[in-house]
Amino acid sequence: MAGHAPEVLTGAKDFRTISDNRGVIVGDASGNAQLIGSQTNYIAQHSGVKANIQISLFKTSTYESFKNFNPKRVPDTCEWFLEHEKFEEWKASDGADIFWLFADPGCGKSVLARALVDEKNFYEGALGDHGPGSKLKFLITSRPYKDIERPIRSLASRIPIIQLNAEDETKNIRDEISIVVVKELEEIAVELELPEDVRSSLQQRLSEIPNRTYLWLRMILSEIRSAPGRSPKKLLRVIDNLPETVEQAYEKILERCTEKDARLALEIIVAAKRPLTVAEIDVALEIGSALRSSDVVLSSYKDLDLEGDKRKEWLRMACGLFVSIVDSQVYLIHQTAREFLIQQGGGQSPSDRRWRQSVNYQEAQRILSKICISHLLFPDFDYRRYRDNREYSAGHWMVHFQEAHMDEDRVWISKAAELCNNSDRFLSMCVHTRNYLEMLELFDPPRSSTTRSALHWSLIFRLLDVTKFIVHSGVNRDLKVGPYGNALETAVTSGHEESVEILLLIGANMNISGGSGWNTLETACAQGHISILNRLL
């Protein structure tokens, strides 16, 4: 963002002037036609300022790293969309605000989306012709799934939507995949010094595979590039054993991995709420390995045997092509890789392959929850010095704890309670993380000097198992726990019905006024928590 700050600040100042002057026009339009005309010209002259500000503001988010994870388009591909009459209609239309493209996984939606961002000339010229009064337009890509389709279609009665089903463009997409095959094999032939007959055989074999997708092709080309042999015979044997589906390709990639290392790494990646940095996953793997080993005990941060930048090579060796590292962030190769790993329903049958549906999502949440809690409880960890390493743990441990459903695991429930118990240390660790800042703004008045107890934090962050643990340990249920008053008042304020239920069952007094001066009924009304209000009545 630093490189864009002067541009944004200067533009924002100019745009504020435009906005302020427009406000004057609205206020005095009937008697000042000359001012209206001059300001209209001013807005037209500075219309680019607003656009530049809007584009530059995206630099403040992490969208660019997610975008760049996807490969660039090969020349002469994505044309089926860019030249489609519906896309042209959307660009030219004054009324159609939303363009919705839906396609199956692996059809190139993400590559197309990157191309649209990187090569804005596809649409900027057409969209720029509408003048300063133009409406904001949205382009949405998704899979053709009902849970995505329903909310988008519900907008159609209020907002014009142009829809394009990529299934209707199957032939054009297949032809473009053939273009990619030819170009990529030309590059591979140069890299590996392949004879023409081998390159031709590779191309012929790839063209015979039915139902090819971009995702499948990406993995197959990686397989060819990483083949151990370079002789024509060895490469032709690779061709003869190519997987014909994405799932088969995933299995083949993971078959070559070190199972123990790969499983822990993949569980952590699957459970994480955002892509982890190499440094973060380095710490997580060290703690996770120790938690699963009876031979290793970690009592302090100094006990961690961190790999540092060498962790990148470790990940490539452990997980192969199944993970990618972009800008020091660790990703699975594709969203479908995550879906391939996670158990669905009753899990896998004995006939299923080794890796498909092999990750129990709740178990993955449990191990990452334990990793985060262990990390935060190290007594010798200097948060200010190692802030980057600790930020994920501080910002997400409570979410993982919620999804882990620790139930009767009193050891880890007590550790979570310990983490909540030291309010000052708790705040110092998390105050700079975005998750906590948002939640503190909503639930915890930052100007309040009232001491916050462990019970307060367990209620605010909806840690149900911790709340049960604390209230059953003999704490006075009606004492003030934080700025909202007693435990019941705090639970009502946070809107967590299950916590309210627990406190009522142990006899919490609902008539005591909290920090706001209201009793719990009045607070539930004020907060609009109807289901809690019904429970209290």
The parent domain of residue 448 ranges over 421-536
Best-predicted range by mean pLDDT among 41-45, 365-369, 468-472, 503-507? 365-369
CA atoms within 13 A on the CB side of 483: 13
**408 in a domain, yes or no?**
no
Q: Tell me the C-alpha distance between 184 and 176, whole Å.
A: 12
279 and 210 housed in the same domain: no
**23 in a domain, yes or no?**
yes
How is the beta sheet containing 98-102 ordered, strand by strand? 138-142, 98-102, 161-165
pTM here? 0.71
161 and 186 housed in the same domain: no
Last residue of a domain, one of 153, 170, 187: 170
Q: What is the mean pLDDT of the chain?
A: 77
Residue 134: which of 104, 99, 94, 101 has the closest Cα?
94
* 478-510: b (≥16 Cβ within 10 Å) or e: bebbbbbbbbbbbbbbbbbbebbebbbeeebeb
**522 in a domain, yes or no?**
yes
| Number of domains comprising the chain | 5
376 and 285 housed in the same domain: yes
Which H or E run includes 375? helix 361-377
Quickly state the pLDDT bin for 123 (edges 50, 70, 90): low
Domain CATH code at residue 510: 1.25.40.20
33 and 113 housed in the same domain: no
131 and 51 housed in the same domain: no
175 and 162 housed in the same domain: no
Last residue of a domain, one of 170, 193, 216: 170
Is residue 272 pLDDT above 70, yes or no?
A: yes
Quickly state the pLDDT bin for 53 (edges 50, 70, 90): very low
39, two tokens: 């300001």
205 and 150 housed in the same domain: no
Quickly state the pLDDT bin for 450 (edges 50, 70, 90): low
* 3-class DSSP assignment, residue 154: helix
**414 in a domain, yes or no?**
no
Tell me the pLDDT tens digit for each residue of 26-42.
333 333 333 333 433 44
Last residue of a domain, one of 222, 245, 268: 245
